[in-house]
Chains A and B, each alone.
Chain A
Amino acid sequence: NAGVTQTPKFRVLKTGQSMTLLCAQDMNHEYMYWYRQDPGMGLRLIHYSVGEGTTAKGEVPDGYNVSRLKKQNFLLGLESAAPSQTSVYFCASSYPSGALGMNTEAFFGQGTRLTVV
């Protein structure tokens, strides 16, 4: 099994350009997450999804959109890239457990290093 696969691994964008980051998981997980990682800031949640067709905002959603049309895929879009969006982006997935749907072990992709110039 591949686990969680992110595409692309590296990308350089010019300010104002748009792009889509793809996250694909083959573990049939319900929950999927997009994080950005910047030095000294840890992992900050951008958007997340608890199932196909559903999305929700995280802590830093501005400037990003997401879609979860298929259970195995979670797309992160940058509408008009800005230098402040230069970061390493991680996708993760997990499955619910118990009656309350508690999230469990999260599996991370290898990350996408995005530079906006």
Chain B
Amino acid sequence: QQPVQSPQAVILREGEDAVINCSSSKALYSVHWYRQKHGEAPVFLMILLKGGEQKGHDKISASFNEKKQQSSLYLTASQLSYSGTYFCGSSSGGSNYKLTFGKGTLLTVNP
């Protein structure tokens, strides 16, 4: 079962912040975040393995609330290069290795 992402799309001006959410109806073992530019393959951003864990990658960070089965990706002071589709992936429901993805969030950063 695919994790559920929200919002479906976000439009920002350069320098603004955004939050992308990911939730699952099944117990999550891990949450992955990827970014895909148009016409390219998805690229790994980060993985979160523990409840409440936070990680950062440049000005992009994420949190994972294992009890709530939710993760959020935080993009601060967005740059033009942040534009793309963001996918959350999860291993859940008794499988540590079956990796399923949400439908994605299209992020557009304008000058």
A→B interface (CB under 8 Å)? 31, 33, 35, 40-45, 48, 50, 56, 58-59, 90, 92, 94, 96, 100-111
Q: With contacts defined as CB atoms under 8 Å apart, how many contacts are there between chain A and chain B in the complex?
A: 74
Q: Do the beta carbons of B98 and A105 come within 8 Å of each other?
A: no
Q: Do the beta carbons of A106 and B96 come within 8 Å of each other?
A: no
Q: Do the beta carbons of A56 and B98 come within 8 Å of each other?
A: yes
Residue in A closest to B39 when the chains form the complex, CB atoms: A111
Q: Do the beta carbons of B99 and A103 come within 8 Å of each other?
A: yes
B→A interface (CB under 8 Å)? 1-2, 5, 29-30, 32, 34, 40-44, 47, 49, 87, 89, 91, 96-104
Q: Do the beta carbons of A59 and B30 come within 8 Å of each other?
A: no
With contacts A31-B97, A43-B87, A59-B2 known, is A103 near B30, CB below 8 A? Answer: yes
With contacts A42-B2, A59-B2, A103-B91 known, is A110 near B41, CB below 8 A? Answer: yes
For residue B55, give the distance in angstroms from its CB to the closest CB of chain A: 12
A92 to B101 CA separation, bound complex (whole angstroms): 12
Q: Do the beta carbons of A45 and B99 come within 8 Å of each other?
A: yes
List, in ascending order, chain B residues with CB within 8 A of A102's CB. 29-30, 49, 91, 96-97
A-B contact pairs, 28 of them (CB 8 A): A40-B103, A42-B87, A42-B102, A43-B42, A43-B89, A43-B101, A56-B98, A59-B2, A94-B99, A96-B96, A100-B29, A101-B96, A101-B97, A102-B30, A102-B49, A102-B91, A102-B96, A103-B30, A103-B91, A104-B47, A105-B32, A106-B44, A106-B89, A108-B41, A108-B42, A108-B43, A109-B41, A111-B41
